[in-house]
Amino acid sequence: MKSQLCLLASIFSLCALMAAAGCSDATEQQAAVRPALESLSLREKIAQKLMLDIRYYCADAERPQGGAADTWGIRDCDQAVTQLPPALADVIRRTGVGGIILFADNLQSSAQIVQLNRDLQLAASSSRAGIPLLIGVDQEGGRVNRLPRDEAAAFAGNMAIGATQAVHGERFATATAEVMAEQLSVLGFNVNFAPTLDVNSNPDNPVINVRSYSESPQVVADLGAASVTAFQRKGVAATVKHFPGHGDTSVDSHTGLPRVERSLESARSVDLLPFAEVFERSRPALTMTAHIQYPALDNSTMLSKSGEDVVVPATLSRKILTDLLREKMGYEGVIVTDALDMAGISNYFSADEAVVHTFAAGADIALMPVKIRFPEDLTRLDGVIDRVETAVLEGELALPEIELSTARVLNLKQRFVSTQWMQQDQRAAVADARRLLATPAHRVLASELSTAALTSIFQPLTGQLPIISDSTQTVQVLAPSAAVGAAFKVALSEVTRAKIEVLDPRGAIETISAHAADLLIVASIVPAESAVELGGVEDLARLKAAPKLPLDTLYRIYRQGLQAAREQGGKTVFVSMRSPYEAARFADVADVHLASFDYKAFIDVNREMHGPVYRALASALVSSTLPQGELPVTVRPPVKADGALASGK
């Protein structure tokens, strides 16, 4: 294996004259990697522009009748790829595909991840061109975390960092990005699809919300620039997303095609501002497109596969990707699409046509253009390459643009692919990974962030602090899931001797009405999990099938529980563990309202649920002072005409 990796390194050394910080124009982009570029056939250049997922593969099965490779929500195969199957290694070797994206399903432990990533690079080194892979992952923190939490410290996400900005500035944006980059690098990743630069200006946004730093474009710009700089200083290519801005949407692009109705002036001052500033200050290696319609930036239409004229999505828009992003904003890095199997694209365009359209628009990398789940799918990537090759030969796509785009991808690899990691002895690589991931300071940082981010949404009633005192004998926790309740119970048991009872929402009202505790804590996680948290569109079916109470029912139970506890003289606390906007519904029935922006936990070696956010909450409940975080978004309680708080519904 080592000799093959040395061959890979020698091939890549042909690009040694590339400037370390990137190139300033098209001529330099191509000159920097000319030897490698000229060694590639047209098909190999196209393959370098494709990034495949290998999340699942069922080697000994056929697609169930009625299954569809391109249809979101149909999870035909659920055998996670944790070891590289020979058939998938052959696809990489045969096509010379440029990159792979991995998901949480693929990542079980440091030793397994190192082995998988080395095998992926070995397969790439065995292709005719021998060019190494971009290996990427969505490691945003918070909602979107792919590394195993029991081994790698996980951090609260962007909105939690936004809540610390007023007191701590860019400290946590920088520190968490540095640690995540170190974690990824030692495991063999070279691309992180983070940070998110969307400005969360729409409280009803189902897919961005706490993945955004703030509703303030300037705060997003400042923290995003710090994050990008830290990632790339530590050797991992950062990806800013989702251009031109997914924050003012109320539709998840995994399930539909969102539309942003802003004026051009508003687009410039809100959605585009963070991207423009981060481009100038931090030079992000990649920018990811958004599957959204943005008529103020491009109101042209294109024919969908159903024959309908639709406003062109940003991912397929030349006006947005080339005229705006490249020419007006001067972006010189790599443009990567969001996953092309998401409904925002796949509902309207076939896989082959989507790839051709996005390359024509100016994208450099098509992410997840096809699914390979069964042996019958093994030639599907070849079909995409065939279609793009035909488009070039027939003039539908311009060959000079394809070559310049491929040069950008090769430049990116020259900057961020570590041949040193690939040539390292495997036992040493595993030992390094285990040692780095076990660094105690990482978990200390995670705890510090959770504590600094914790925010009091409204001013609590006089005399309520500390919430838990020496006289508190009983505490009830109304939790949306058993896991959240278990994590709360472990954390609270560390700070109080009070008896702690976890309530399931389905029987909570009866229990509280019969015997209310000294304190009722209602923990809420809204909006519910979306596909991006679990991994992708294939999880939508699982999310839909999961037994859960309707949101209106859950909110009714929360309100009635808080009211019943108050009527019996108990203290009441509402904890918004994700998007804080929902706290407005309970402003009149809870004594204290806290926002944690995170709820994730992990099972430790003692089989107990732990998470830094729960320890931060427990500490806040026994404190006589308010948490130090400040809301990065506006939460206004409903008000009646007479000025009194209106009851939420």
For the record, the structure tokens of 115 come out as 């082995």
CB-side neighbour CA atoms (13 Å) of 36: 32
Do 322 and 284 meet the contact criterion of CB atoms below 8 Å apart? no
For the record, the structure tokens of 104 come out as 């949480």
Please report the beta strands in 250-359, taking only residues with DSSP state E, as ranges in sequence order.
286-289, 301-303, 309-311, 334-336
For the record, the structure tokens of 550 come out as 């309707």
Sign of the alpha-carbon torsion through 190, 191, 192, 194: positive
Do 279 and 330 meet the contact criterion of CB atoms below 8 Å apart? yes
Alpha helices in 126-250 (DSSP H): 158-168, 171-187, 217-233
Do 314 and 354 meet the contact criterion of CB atoms below 8 Å apart? no
Q: Catalytic residue numbers? A: 338
Do 513 and 549 meet the contact criterion of CB atoms below 8 Å apart? no
CB proximity list for 324: less than 8 A, separation 6 or greater: 244, 297
CA 128 to chain centre: 33
Element (H, E) at 609: strand 609-610
- Secondary-structure percent of the chain, ordered helix, strand, coil, rounded to 5: 45, 10, 45
DSSP string, 76-136: ----B-SS--HHHHHHHHHH---EEEE-GGG---HHHHHHHHHHHHHHHHTSSS-PPPEEE
Q: What is the largest CA-CA distance in the chain?
A: 80
Q: Is cis: bond before 580, omega within 30 of 0?
A: no
d(CA 335, CA 357): 14
Q: What is the 3-state secondary structure (H, E, C) of 380-398?
A: HHHHHHHHHHHHHHCCCCC
Element (H, E) at 614: helix 612-621
Phi, psi values for residue 435, rounded to 5°: -65, -45
Do 141 and 194 meet the contact criterion of CB atoms below 8 Å apart? yes
Tokens 């909006």 belong to residue: 527
d(CA 136, CA 101): 5
Classify the phi-psi angles of 396: left when phi > 0, otherwise alpha if psi is within -120 to 50, otherwise beta: alpha
d(CA 387, CA 71): 20
Cβ burial 204-223 (10 Å sphere, 16+ → b, else e): ebbbbbbbbbbbbbebbbbb
For the record, the structure tokens of 534 come out as 């679990």
d(CA 129, CA 375): 25
Do 344 and 29 meet the contact criterion of CB atoms below 8 Å apart? no
3-state secondary structure of 34: helix
Cβ burial 527-539 (10 Å sphere, 16+ → b, else e): beebbbbbbbbbb
